[in-house]
Amino acid sequence: MQHVSPVREPLVTGGKTYHDVTQDVCRQVEAAPNIRWMAALSVALLLLGVFFYSVYRTLWYGIGEWGLNKTIGWAWDITNFVWWVGIGHAGTLISAVLLLFRQKWRTSINRAAEAMTIFAVICAAMFPVLHMGRPWLAFYVFPLQNTLGSLWANFNSPLLWDVFAISTYFSVSLVFWYTGLVPDFATIRDRAKGPIAKVAYSLLSMGWKGSAKHWSRYETVSLILAGVSTPLVLSVHTIVSMDFATSVVPGWHTTIFPPYFVAGAIFSGFAMVLTLMLITRVVFKLEDYITIEHIALMNKIMMVTGSIVGVAYITEFFIAWYSQVEFESYAFINRATGPYWWAYAMMMTCNVITPQLVWFRRVRYSIPLTFILSIIVNIGMWFERFVIIVTSLHRDYLPSSWAMFSPTIIDVGIYVGTIGLFFTLFLLFAKFFPVINMAEVKAVLKYTVDNGPTYTGHDPHHVTHPATTHGVPASAPVNYDKHD
């Protein structure tokens, strides 16, 4: 039996019963789409149109449509790739790492955060694939024999590690998310009225009935998946950082990259979770589930990871000086004072100063301020990747090949387009799937009630009545003592 702490803040407010949880979460799925959702979807679809147009231009006319030049061969595409992958990491952190640490507050946000992970990885994958120029040859990245000879893929290359990391990460996250969804699909299935909904949710729910044996296995599977996803999520951004760190480019060739990138990923990911949750809780009236406490806790994680990122920036600078490598020192001086100083200033302000505001309780508990902060962090983390990639490349060893980068409209179009792709997927998810994990929230409901029912003896005649106290979840009258 669970210990109920009298001092702990409730995880779910409003004295919800189990049935209330079902009602509140299924309301959105069962109702006809509302006007705000349709308006949001239209905007997202418009941006998705921009994406398709930009992709068409890229594929038809070639990579020359982008602003890349012979010095800066990686720019917005890889910036966006790393940005999106990083955003995805918060979802896995919430669903896996917080599960292992038994942080029960994760239950009301993990579903949407995991969805965010999957959609963010889809957006991320667009960039390396499009950068290939000929995506129909994308299978070349897999270790298949070359069609002309018997040459295999190069397993020493971090870019190949990335292929394995991202595809494993995507498929494992998808399976983790779907397995969590199955019991909730069963709930919707058993409530469904329309014939299409009945069949659709029956198919999706895989015949789940909630038997004790299945739940037992389900919990085992969740735990193992969480245990395996935790090192996986760390490995993914480590490998992403190795795309840079294993090169000899000054500004990239640093051993600090893996932990620094992982912290940055979680930082930006939590910012995106906050942005999405703050909107979702209002639009779908889920304020009792995603409470101000959740927001404060996420703010704290953002502050910790943001501070780690800040320390990493300073460490990089120190090492550049301490190493006494001329090129390394120049790379960093150039970052701060060179032609891209404004990007560097954006990064420093948004990522180092902004999260420190969260030390103030008033900021942490303020919804409008949190929303603004989360947007600023998202912008700052985009600039971080831009700074790392473009300012390191634009002036390296050979001054005669120094250059500047300016994006074309197609660069902008693809980036904005992936935001449209992301929101199209997220809005469809939010309408047709349960945005909150009902089963897990129900399981922690009692944990939150300060005077929850306590069942002490085995003799049913001495049962403490479960429905006498305020806010007790199982408040439906239990009428077994009528037989006394």
Partner 1 sequence: MTKRFALGIFEDEDVLLHAVENVREAGVKIYEVFTPFPIHGIDDAMGIERSRLPIAAFFFGLTGLSFALWMQIYMLGFDWPMIIGGKPHIALPAFIPVSFELTVLFCCHGMVITFYTISKLYPRWKTPVLDVRSTDDKFVMAIEVNENTDMTKLTQILRDNGASEVNQKEMSKF
Decide if residue 175 touches partner 1 (CB under 8 A). Answer: yes
Of 46, 199, 314, 353, the one binding partner 1 (CB under 8 A) is: 199
Select 51 or 161, whichever has its Cβ closest to partner 1: 161
| Residues 358 and 373: beta-carbon distance below 8 Å | yes
Decide if residue 182 touches partner 1 (CB under 8 A). Answer: yes
Number of residues that bind partner 1 (CB under 8 A): 84
Decide if residue 52 touches partner 1 (CB under 8 A). Answer: no
- Neighbouring residues of 116: CB distance < 8 A, sequence distance ≥ 6: 87, 88, 90, 91, 269, 272, 273, 276, 426
Q: How far is CA 394 from CA 81, 250, 312, 368, 459, in A?
A: 19, 11, 22, 38, 77
Binding part of the chain for partner 1, among 41-49, 147-155, 297-305, 424-432 by CB under 8 A, reads: 147-155
From the CB of 245, what's the least distance to partner 1, in Å? 12
Angle at 320 between CA 87 and CA 262, to 5 degrees: 20
Of 32, 35, 211, 400, the one binding partner 1 (CB under 8 A) is: 211
- Identify which of 382, 389, 380 has the alpha carbon closest to the alpha carbon of residue 419: 382
Decide if residue 474 touches partner 1 (CB under 8 A). Answer: yes
Q: Pick out residues in 266-295 that bind partner 1 (CB under 8 A).
A: none
Helix axis angle, 110-131 to 409-432, nearest 10° = 150
Binding part of the chain for partner 1, among 130-138, 301-309, 406-414, 449-457 by CB under 8 A, reads: 449-457
Select 190 or 419, whichever has its Cβ closest to partner 1: 190
Of 161, 260, 284, 422, the one binding partner 1 (CB under 8 A) is: 161
Decide if residue 191 touches partner 1 (CB under 8 A). Answer: yes
Decide if residue 140 touches partner 1 (CB under 8 A). Answer: no
DSSP letter assigned to residue 32: P
Of 155, 255, 400, 470, the one binding partner 1 (CB under 8 A) is: 155
Q: Pick out residues in 425-444 that bind partner 1 (CB under 8 A).
A: 438-440, 442-443
Of 218, 341, 365, 432, the one binding partner 1 (CB under 8 A) is: 218
What sign results for the dihedral spanned by CA atoms 235, 87, 175, 136?
negative
Decide if residue 17 touches partner 1 (CB under 8 A). Answer: yes
Q: Pick out residues in 288-347 that bind partner 1 (CB under 8 A).
A: none
Decide if residue 468 touches partner 1 (CB under 8 A). Answer: no
Q: What is the DSSP string of 350-416?
A: IIIIGGGGGGSHHHHT-HHHHHHHHHHHHHHHHHHHHIIIIIHHHS-S-GGG-------HHHHHHHH
For 178, how many CA atoms within 13 A lie in the half-sphere containing its CB? 12
| Residue at 174: amino acid letter | L
Decide if residue 19 touches partner 1 (CB under 8 A). Answer: yes
